[in-house]
């Protein structure tokens, strides 16, 4: 099963990706996590590309297509992706979707998570993350068992640099301009690409959204 999770920043892609991957036993390919990992230890001997990526991430702007497409196609070619994978945060431009198509990678299901802007700002400003694993919490809606500590390792949680309100607004604008056109791109090509396209109302609780997603995933699985 090859799945794309599409949706604005803070829609809950990372949160739901973990549930789907655990249910289907497939790896999660999160381009945001990969880029953060690539730049997290890079202050000493930082390459020009690492510096460029770090600056773009902190500003809430997209990394160029050629860099990201190479990262993702290399990752998909690894052995653990042979039976499927979930793409969280990729593709994010029509150019990236075309590159995926040209590489002959056939996606079974595109899930679009829909959440209005006001809810997104609340979700992102309360988000806390465990940097090493990418595990995500929310101080009110999805709190860790012990405040500010990761449930599995007990290590401290952090706030992402791009979760400041002004950067969240930039990320929302970037989403509308560069990523939202993918909604029409995929829904219009669903038959041609043999890809199921399902829009999910992601405004409910984490559990409610999870149920809607698992219904769509199981229906797609039954048709394969
Ligand atoms: P990335 O890390 O992918 O960020 P994003 O798409 O902006 O998405 P987020 O991680 O912010 O949100 P999410 O939808 O995963 O929500 P989450 O589950 O955490 O990308 C970061 C940057 O990397 C980009 O800005 C760009 O610079 C670069 N980049 C990445 N991919 C790229 C690409 N393909 N091309 C070019 N550049 C790229 O949930 C958010 C919060 O809400 C959490 O606190 C969570 O606990 C809470 N929550 C989740 N669900 C619910 C719910 N149902 N109810 C209440 N709270 C909820």
Read off the pLDDT of residues 80-113 as tens digits, 9 standing for 90 and up: 999 999 999 999 999 999 999 999 999 999 999 9
Q: What is the pLDDT of residue 86?
A: 98
Determine if ligand 1 sits within 6 Å of the CB of residue 54. no
Among 132, 165, 143, 147, smallest CA distance to 10 is for 165
Confidence of residue 70 (pLDDT cuts 50, 70, 90): very high
Which is the CATH superfamily of the domain at 2-223?
P-loop containing nucleotide triphosphate hydrolases (3.40.50.300)
What percent of the chain stands above pLDDT 70?
99
Q: Candidates 4, 32, 126: which one to mutate for ligand 1, based on the most atoms within 8 Å of Cβ?
A: 32
Q: What is the pLDDT of residue 46?
A: 86
- Residues 6-28 pLDDT 10s: 999 999 999 999 999 999 999 99
Task: Say how many Å lie between the CA of residue 83 and the centre of ligand 1.
Answer: 25
Rounded Cα distance, 183 and 7, in Å: 9
Q: Provide the pairing of β-strand 2-6 with 109-114.
A: parallel
- Residues 180-220 pLDDT 10s: 999 999 999 999 999 999 999 999 999 999 999 999 999 99
What mean pLDDT is reported for the chain?
A: 94
- pLDDT higher than 70, residue 178: yes
Q: What is the pLDDT of residue 168?
A: 94
Q: Hey, whose CA ends up nearest to atom 42 of ligand 1? A: 123
Q: What is the pLDDT of residue 42?
A: 66
CB 65 within 8 A of CB 93: yes
- Residues 27-59 pLDDT 10s: 999 999 999 988 887 667 889 999 999 999 999
CB 65 within 8 A of CB 99: yes
Q: Candidates 127, 159, 163: which one to mutate for ligand 1, based on the most atoms within 8 Å of Cβ?
A: 127
CA 28 to chain centre: 9
Residue spans of the domains in the chain: they are 2-223
CB 95 within 8 A of CB 54: no
Q: What is the pLDDT of residue 2?
A: 97
Q: What is the pLDDT of residue 12?
A: 95
- Whether pTM > 0.75 for this model: the answer is yes
**Full strand arrangement of the beta sheet holding 109-114:** 28-30, 85-88, 2-6, 109-114, 196-201
Q: Hey, whose CA ends up nearest to atom 8 of ligand 1? A: 9
């Amino acid at each position: 099963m090859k799945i794309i999770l599409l949706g604005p920043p803070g829609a809950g892609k990372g949160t739901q990706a973990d549930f789907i991957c655990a249910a289907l036993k497939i790896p999660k390919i999160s381009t945001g996590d990969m880029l953060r990992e690539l730049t997290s230890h890079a202050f000493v001997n930082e390459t020009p590309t690492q510096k460029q990526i770090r600056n773009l991430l902190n500003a809430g702007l997209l990394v160029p297509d050629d860099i990201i497409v190479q990262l993702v196609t290399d990752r998909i070619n690894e052995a653990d992706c042979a039976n499927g994978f979930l793409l969280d945060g990729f593709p994010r431009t029509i150019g990236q979707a075309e590159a995926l198509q040209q590489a002959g990678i056939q996606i079974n299901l595109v899930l679009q998570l829909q959440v209005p802007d006001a809810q997104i700002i609340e979700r992102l400003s309360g988000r806390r993350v465990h940097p090493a694993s990418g595990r995500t919490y929310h101080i009110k809606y999805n709190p860790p068992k012990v405040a500010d500590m990761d449930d599995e390792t007990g290590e401290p949680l952090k706030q992402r640099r791009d979760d400041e309100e002004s950067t969240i607004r930039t990320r929302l604008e970037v989403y509308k301009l560069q990523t939202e056109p993918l909604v029409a791109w995929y829904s219009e090509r669903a038959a041609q690409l043999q890809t199921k396209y399902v829009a999910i109302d992601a405004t409910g609780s984490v559990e409610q959204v999870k149920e809607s997603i698992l219904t769509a995933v199981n229906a797609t699985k039954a048709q394969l």
